[in-house]
Amino acid sequence: MLENLYLVAQIVAGLAVIGSLLFIGFEVRRNTRAQLHQLGIERTSFFSQSNAWTIENEPLRKALIKGADSFDALTFEERLLFSAYHLHWIGAMIALWSQQEMIYVEPKYSEAFYQTFERFSQTPGAREWWAAVRLGTPPSFLDRFDALMKFDASAKGGDAHDARKPNGGEEAPNVD
């Protein structure tokens, strides 16, 4: 009789462990889905915010249009607007790549980001801007952005800038 009670207790304990593991598995799955949903909301919010900025802010819109042809042709204020907007994109790309390394992100989401960023990155002004700011990018992402921007860090002359100096190696403007 005692042996039967022992076996029943072992079976009940085994079933309790299996039940606990199933519960934990379902909760992890539910939590992962919730996180993926939240990340999707954040990506949508990013696109909406970027669109609102370009629609509502005329100086930004003009700086983006003018800067697409030449970053060097922008005034100091236009450079600030152009840079702030695109650093916002750089931050979003870094967040997306980090998410891809930690959890699964559906390819359609990353492709939308790449395609949108790639349109900007193929302009002459974007390459000039990237040459001026690239060394401030976290090293683990620098090669990815260089590839996305089709940037050759070893290029000399032409579009090449000394990224360690403001204004691509030119003297900084006197603001006194």
Q: Residue 174 — very low, low, confident or very high, per pLDDT cuts 50/70/90?
A: very low
pLDDT at 8 over 60: yes
Among the residue ranges 118-122, 143-147, 171-175, the one predicted with the least confidence is: 171-175
What is the tens place of the pLDDT at every residue in 133-157? 888 888 888 888 888 777 777 764 4
Q: What is the pLDDT of residue 133?
A: 85
Asked whether the beta carbons of 69 and 124 are under 8 A apart, the reply is yes
Euclidean distance between CA atoms 33 and 83, whole angstroms: 35
Here the tokens at position 161 are: 């800038």
Euclidean distance between CA atoms 105 and 71, whole angstroms: 33
> Is the model more confident about 2 or about 160?
2
Question: Nearest 5 degrees, angle CA 73-CA 77-CA 79?
Answer: 50
Q: What is the pLDDT of residue 167?
A: 44
Q: What is the pLDDT of residue 155?
A: 65
How many other CB atoms sit within 10 Å of the CB of residue 120? 18
What is the tens place of the pLDDT at every residue in 66-86? 998 999 999 999 999 998 888
Q: Which of 167, 52, 128, 143 is nearest to 93 (CA)?
A: 143
Q: How many CA atoms lie within 13 A of 14 on its CB side?
A: 6
pLDDT at 11 over 90: yes
Q: What is the pLDDT of residue 169?
A: 44
- Give me the residue spans of the domains in the chain: 35-168
What are the C-alpha distances in Å from 97 to residues 26, 120, 141, 144, 150? Answer: 27, 18, 9, 10, 18
Q: What pTM did the predictor assign?
A: 0.63
- Give the chain's mean pLDDT: 79
**Percent of the chain having pLDDT more than 70?**
85
Q: Is 75 helix (H, G, I), strand (E, B) or coil?
A: coil
